Amino acid sequence: MEITLQQAGFAFLAAVIVVFSVMTVTTKRILRAATYLLFVLFATAGIYFQLNYSFLGAVQLLIYAGGVVVLYVFSILLTSSDEEKKTPLRNRRVVAGLAASVAGAVLCIFLLVTHSFGPSQFAGGEIDMHTIGHAMMGTGKYQYLLPFEAVSVLLLACIVGGLLIARKRK
């Protein structure tokens, strides 16, 4: 069995995602966790580009890796203080976390093994930009203008809340 360059690239990106995901949830410093999350999002965009979903890869880089991680970093830096002491986890919480992790891993492996991963309905190539734009900015069924606006209001509320918390701490 020969391994092609595309398979090797996918294996590398998958390994990067797994390693940095584990590092994201196991680090004790929250700013490092946000940095590791940034690497996970970059690798996810790499997989999108490898699958010839260039629009989705660009959105992943611009919105998630560019915008959301910067928002996380700013809110971490605005709301954290050095005076807060971190309490160690109790044994009960460690066991619950390990159980949830094992259950999630078992579920992911089960879905990977049982899913057929056949060709999608867009196997002939990418969807044109007009169709994507109509779906993103339409108000009908299976169109995303209302969820997009709801997420933008939610992010605005998070920014305002972070600023209020930061001002009250001073």
Per-residue pLDDT of the chain (170 residues; tens, 9 = 90+): 788 888 888 889 999 999 999 998 888 887 888 888 888 989 998 898 888 888 788 888 888 777 777 777 777 777 666 555 566 667 888 888 889 889 888 887 887 787 766 655 555 666 777 877 777 778 777 777 777 788 788 888 877 877 777 777 65
Domain boundary (50, 82, 114) is at 82
Full-model pTM? 0.55
pLDDT score of 154: 81
Residue 113 included in any domain: no
Q: Are 6 and 50 in contact (CB under 8 A)?
A: yes
Report the distance separating Cα 28 and Cα 72, nearest Å. Answer: 16
Range of the domain at 155: 127-170
CATH number of domain containing 28: 1.20.120.1200
Q: Are 43 and 17 in contact (CB under 8 A)?
A: yes
75 & 141 share domain: no
Residue 4 included in any domain: yes
pLDDT score of 82: 58
Concatenating the DSSP letter of every residue in 8-59 gives HHHHHHHHHHHHHHHHHHH-S-HHHHHHHHHHHHHHHHHHHHHTT-HHHHHH
In the block, which residue shows the tokens 């196991």?
Answer: 26
∠ CA(20), CA(23), CA(24), 5° rounding?
85
pLDDT score of 110: 83
74 & 1 share domain: yes
75 & 15 share domain: yes
Domain boundary (26, 49, 82) is at 82
pLDDT tens, position by position, 104-119 = 888 878 877 877 666 5
pLDDT tens, position by position, 75-91 = 777 766 655 556 666 78
In the block, which residue shows the tokens 């010839």?
Answer: 52
Structural domain count of the chain: 2
pLDDT score of 125: 64
pLDDT score of 123: 56
2 & 77 share domain: yes
